[in-house]
Amino acid sequence: MAKKDVVKSIFERELAGQVISTHEEEYAAIHKIIRQAQVLTAKLNTGHHELDGIRQIFAELTNSTIDETFRMNPPFYTDFGQNIHIGKSVFINFNCVFMDRGGIFLDDYALIGPGVHLLTTNHMEHPFCRESTQSKPIHIGKRVWIGGHVTVLPGITIGDNSIVGAGSVVTKDIPANVIVAGNPARIIRSIINETSI
């Protein structure tokens, strides 16, 4: 007996890296979550919220449980929200932009500097298909420090303990335990493990 083809939802297809067109009937489901994210980020970024309030709004935005060790300085911007995954003791500074339709994963103790852009979605190169998008996940390892105004492109993994210098554009995977900087980001040196600290 032949196996039946499993029809994947538009969300599953997007997370699998397939091309998504805004003209698909199912795209309305994505658009609904985009509109919800706009409402919740407006709530987060308006007025003053104590840390518990920030965590509560962020939990609603990501549709997940947020650990009590999570810290953030709003404002914060996202196009989707529900594909952001946060570990313990993560810190996100102000004015960050997370385009998370492809999935953004921040492991424990990750530090995200001000004005960082994590961009999981790209448009198609062909001029007549440019409205269509393709998304790939970004993985930020444990104890990674991303400096201010860094841009990380779709599909990138940054290994544990590494540092990305301010203003860098990360176009390729970064191994663990290195310092990178520049546009495109390149390895400057390895991180010296000072056991006395």
The answer to whether the beta carbons of residues 164 and 145 sit under 8 Å apart is: yes
CA dist 55 and 49 (Å) reads: 9
Look up residue 96 and give its two tokens: 């960050």
Neighbours of 82 (CB within 10 A): 17
Residue 149's nearest CA partner among 180, 118, 172 is: 118
Look up residue 109 and give its two tokens: 């103790």
> Which residue's structure tokens are 């979550």?
33
Strand partners, 146: 112, 164
The answer to whether the beta carbons of residues 157 and 141 sit under 8 Å apart is: yes
Please pick, among 23, 123, 126, 149, the residue that the annotation labels catalytic: 123
- Per the annotation, the verdict on 49 as an active-site residue is no
Catalytic residues: 123
